[in-house]
Amino acid sequence: MNRPTKQDPDRGDARTRLLESARDVIRTQGFAATSVDQLCQAAGVTKGAFFHHFASKEALGVAAAQFWAETTSELFANASYHDHAEPLDRVLAYIDFRRDLIAGELEEFTCLIGTMTQEAYAKYPAIREACAISMFGHTSTLEPDIQAAMEASGISGSWTAASLARHMQAVLQGAFILAKAGNDSSLAIESVDHLRRYVELLFKNRPKGGQND
Amino acid sequence: MNRPTKQDPDRGDARTRLLESARDVIRTQGFAATSVDQLCQAAGVTKGAFFHHFASKEALGVAAAQFWAETTSELFANASYHDHAEPLDRVLAYIDFRRDLIAGELEEFTCLIGTMTQEAYAKYPAIREACAISMFGHTSTLEPDIQAAMEASGISGSWTAASLARHMQAVLQGAFILAKAGNDSSLAIESVDHLRRYVELLFKNRPKGGQND
DNA sequence: TTGTTAATACCAACCGGTCGGTATGCGTGT
DNA sequence: ACACGCATACCGACCGGTTGGTATTAACAA
């Protein structure tokens, strides 16, 4: 149980454990259905510690979204889908990577951001904002590869690299919802497969150097 | 304020108003964040009336999902996208219809089922089940047109009509989440446009009578 | 090295208020 | 007469948040 130092001011042990617990519990139960007491029990800390680190339950939601953004961006930055020479291959490898992540229990692969967004967008604007930053921050990392693939294929259609990146995110989010509704992870994989086919079709049947749409 | 009669046993005035209020309030705030008192106030009834019609808050969630399924299936059954000779045109017209529904405020076009599924899938199995019936009940209505379009185009790929119908639903659900995160309905429209392009590409560049994938 | 001060991390008990749910009474249509 | 639809009043449990306080550490002076 190491304490933070002046060189590392924030980031106490209790704080991290609370954020990890928040990620796991909120992902399964949702934000509103999760009580502060439940979070404290899961993290093994007291309520006093909770409100020492977070001004409110909403503030924890914001911090959890940021924590999610940090940890997942690290995961994607270190992933091997970047190791392809062709930009289109990197995009397709990203989709394969996301597909492979869909394994095991629902609580382990679904997205905290998507779950919180639905509950928070009207009631907790600060959480919605943090979710937006996390979500669109991630999609923006996909844009360079998509853009390069478009240029390599001579595509200049009515859609942009940014919009395709966001659409890929939308498919994943929707896939998670269907998996939850049907309680079957293969429903999510199914949609990711359709997404991969879409990207393949987009870049395969291009008119050389012309308008695509 | 007409009361229900013995000839018209269910569907009392208070019950319907509660279900309509549940649809509107839960869609914006989520299920867990919505209190029974709030529902009663929105419907203009007392708590006694609430628990007269619904055994519990969870039972209201189930009834709200069924109510949603009834009203939306009526909307889709009467829509004009069925009035096309070619099955592929009916599928594309369905997508256009869904696209046109995305207008106005978020609370008016987003999906109650998708919202409730995220919160209920682990904590309220009965609600999850009701959401699954509503969601996949709707996607199954799309299958005949997709199947007919596949046969008309001689497509027999690695995907099925049912899976494409579910993928269309996934895109819509994900599009709603992105719209909520970015607080911008055009983010949803953008994804629906990608979905339309996918369906067009699927059926346009077919090998005549051969394997498509 | 040691004593002092200040800041931080954390705890246990508790607060007013709200939660989902219940018990019961009462007016109305049949 | 009486079943039904709903209102009023109320309950114990739990909610998010606050309180006063303690243990640990860093910073600095002697």
pLDDT per residue, tens digit, chain B (213 aa), is: 334 433 334 345 888 999 999 999 999 999 999 999 999 999 999 998 999 999 999 999 999 999 999 999 999 999 999 999 999 999 999 999 999 999 989 999 999 999 999 999 999 999 999 999 999 999 999 999 999 999 999 988 789 999 999 999 999 999 999 999 999 999 999 999 999 999 999 998 554 433 444
Q: Which two tokens stand for residue A34?
A: 């999760």
Nearest-angstrom CA–CA distance, B48 and B60: 14
Q: Which ipTM was obtained for this model?
A: 0.90
With beta carbons less than 8 A apart as the criterion, state whether B194 and A198 touch.
yes
| CB burial readout B90-110, b (16+ within 10 A) else e | bbbbbbeebbeebeeebeebb
Amino acid identity of residue A177, one-letter, is I
Tokens 């994607």, residue? A76
Chain B nearest CA to A26, separation (Å): 9
Q: Domains along chain A?
A: 69-204 (1.10.357.10)
Which positions on strand C lie below 7 Å from a protein C-beta?
Answer: 8-14, 18-25, 29-30
Nearest-angstrom CA–CA distance, B34 and B57: 10
Tokens 């359709």, residue? A194
Residue A209 has pLDDT above 90, yes or no: no
Nearest-angstrom CA–CA distance, B64 and B19: 6
Choose among B30, B131, B174: nearest Cβ to A181. Answer: B131
Q: What is the mean pLDDT of chain A?
A: 90
| Percent share of chain A, pLDDT over 70 | 90
Distance A73 CA to D24 C1' (A): 34
Choose among A30, A190, A202: nearest Cβ to B118. Answer: A30
Distance A10 CA to C2 C1' (A): 29
Chain A nearest CA to B1, separation (Å): 32
The angle that helices A161-182 and A186-204 make with each other, rounded to 10 degrees, is: 160
Instruction: Please list every residue in chain A whose beta carbon sits closer than 8 Å to the beta carbon of residue B174.
Output: 169-175, 177
pLDDT at B81: 97
